A and B are shown apart, each in its own frame.
Chain A
């Protein structure tokens, strides 16, 4: 029995030592992060305003909390967390969100996901872009594409 406890403890410790690039993303399981929207490439204020509006619209949905919005070359990624008791209606919430975004922003291409992994990666990308000045646009776009791929993989 003692050995088993020790084994579990060992695993937990080892995983704690594991390296993560961002300070916010590991905490996002416990805490609300509310990251500011991020844009890869363009620095136009129009885009930033638009993203802020998207973020506000999405966060206003009462089933959700904590939204991360990232704009890449083509798509806008919207990752969100669903309130615990609303998780039974995840499919409906996604439909509703898609519909709302399509109606309000007909020109944009949205990818929405309630998956925690996507949220985690989005926060990490956001933090990297903010903290690391050397983090190049190309690298960011590459990571963004990776997230999109991950999201598509599961469907």
Chain B
């Protein structure tokens, strides 16, 4: 149901029944390694190209999730997923393997929440019994497309972020009155915000206004305040973006509790890993949410969280043509039933 200007409330509370999370070698050394179902110790993952490895990440994560709920791929009605590579081919090719009716979406790094919001909406109105949704990214494949070759010795500035290698998927199903399961309760779809930043090595700074816009819209539409949530977590703003978002929200009169305002890109890696400003990529919010955060919710650490995945909707072409970076953020609220 539409509430306010741009938010949906899901009265039927779709359940996140199971999740599957896969990651690469860099994530295996990170802080959240225990929350991954599958970890690879090689970026190639036994494939002969990074793009194929990317596809494997998504396939494995999906299959793990499907196994966890004791279903067959034929029991899943729809798959809503995406990634960052040209025309989201890794996801499309993964969908070919899984042969689930498929909707490909692109929201850059906000894909995970875009997918979760859409899936929740469809389930909420009985459009499906089970939907698989998720997002993935592969560091080397993304670097290859957006920046320089992997082995190129260019110096990255301290504002740069490290694209994570990983895929996170969740299976949503209609709520049949279960308790003790995470459910999605509302979602806010963001609008594209562009404040004229052009540096592709400073995504966090570019995405911060989009995150702030969506967070404030969410509170306004649902008539709640930040204390409603135990945790507000952004997708991949990194150090710079997170600080900036905090400031922007303070200016709008929304004061967040620093302890309760986290960022997936900062959660995933350890101090000392050479990631400059933090993690990023479509897989960043997906792996952290479907792995770490939902595990924590099941343990009871958090009851209500708001996940705000931010995306920078640029392409290598647009920034070479001096276009500024358009950004977007989508928020989904997840609660324990």
Indicate yes or no for A touching B, C-beta below 8 A. no
Residues on A lying within 8 angstroms of B by beta carbon are none
Residues on B lying within 8 angstroms of A by beta carbon are none
